[in-house]
Amino acid sequence: MSDLLASVLAIVQHEVDAFWCFVGLMEGSVFVTSPKDDVMDRQLTYFRELLRMLVARFYAHVLLQDDAMDMLFCHRWLLLSFKREFFNEEVLKMWEACWSHYQTEYFHIFLCVAMVQEYGSVVVEQNMSADDMLQFFTDLSMKMDGTKVLRTARQLLLKFRQLPGIPCSLRGLLSGPGIWDSAPLPEIQCSCHNTCVYLHGESKGQSLESISEKELSAEKKGRAKLVCDNGKASSHLQDHHQIHEAPHDVTTCQSFSQITVVEFADDNNDKDHNNVLMERNNKDICSDAEFANKDQQEQQSAKDEKQKANDS
């Protein structure tokens, strides 16, 4: 924690004031955690899901690498709040952006995704393994443009807000009292067999029917839309590559290529409209594994053509 305290001492010279500022930093910041906290697992789950949605090419590459889904390269980013990745002035700007809780309490996750989007293309192009990825991002320490990363993170947050739907595993990103009232909420798309632990924080196995009347009324009024697939629960299994389980051992939602949507209608609408079924069959969207395989085939074809050109 000396890394975090160093930044506080650089601004607050008085030791007593610096101590209490540090206490406030540790107690009041959701992105300051320890290796034993389940908060870390939750943040990594958010990070993986956001990569899948916003940086699909990088995610598809990671999916096919052994042990890469541990995301070891980003552990230091989260544990030390980017202190060793950027210069002190840039770090303080990032901290203030996170402390503002602008439309989410997990803006630091969007910063991590922005770092991958800005600098992760080399990882895919060079087909790096998990160990190579760790070394690559470690070597980028103090070489990344913090202002550019911060700008990209804000753009990603805006893009996330404008998505038509998000998986239930990312529901926690819509956090904070009143901060999402200024814009429409993305629909929460769920395929957890009506036992979703991400909905209002229920414990595992609790049915959606147990939602209180007050919470259900809030849902109907448009504060949030629940989209639930009553069909077979999906899982992220790609051959022998399996995505790590989400918190509470609940399988995360599948991509939005094929999902049945159920919306709550407004109180003024007829009851027959309460269950609106919409089948999304997007045949143009490949699965993550297929996308990665095609990408590797294209890279191999390009190498073969280049080799033939050199031989001739």
Q: What is the pLDDT of residues 63-88, one digit of tens each?
A: 998 888 889 999 999 888 898 999 98
Chain centre distance of CA 22:
27
Over residues 43-58, the mean pLDDT reads 93
Cross-strand pairs, 227: 189
pLDDT of amino acid 257: 33
Q: Is the pLDDT of residue 204 over 50?
A: no
Q: Are 112 and 47 in contact (CB under 8 A)?
A: yes
Q: How high is the mean pLDDT of the chain? A: 69
Length of the chain: 312
pLDDT of amino acid 48: 93
Reported as a pLDDT band with limits 50, 70 and 90, residue 272 is very low
pLDDT of amino acid 10: 79
Best CA proximity match to 259, nearest among 165, 159, 162: 165
Which residue has better confidence, 266 or 52?
Answer: 52
- Say how many CA atoms lie within 13 Å of 134 toward its Cβ: 13
Whole-model pTM: value is 0.61
Q: Is the pLDDT of residue 173 over 50?
A: yes
CA distance 137 to 298: 25
pLDDT of amino acid 40: 82
Task: Give residue-wise pLDDT tens across range 207-222.
Answer: 333 333 333 344 333 3
Q: Are 275 and 47 in contact (CB under 8 A)?
A: no
% of the chain with per-residue pLDDT over 90: 26
How many C-beta atoms lie closer than 10 Å to residue 61's C-beta? 23
Which residue has better confidence, 28 or 309?
Answer: 309
Q: Strand pairing of 237-238 and 241-242?
A: antiparallel
Q: Is the pLDDT of residue 246 over 50?
A: no
CA distance 164 to 189: 10
> What's the 3-state SS for 89-128?
HHHHHHHHHHHCCCCCCCHHHHHHHHHHHHHCHHHHHCCC
Per-residue tokens: 81:
């709040």
Q: Is the pLDDT of residue 107 over 70?
A: yes
Q: Are 67 and 130 in contact (CB under 8 A)?
A: yes
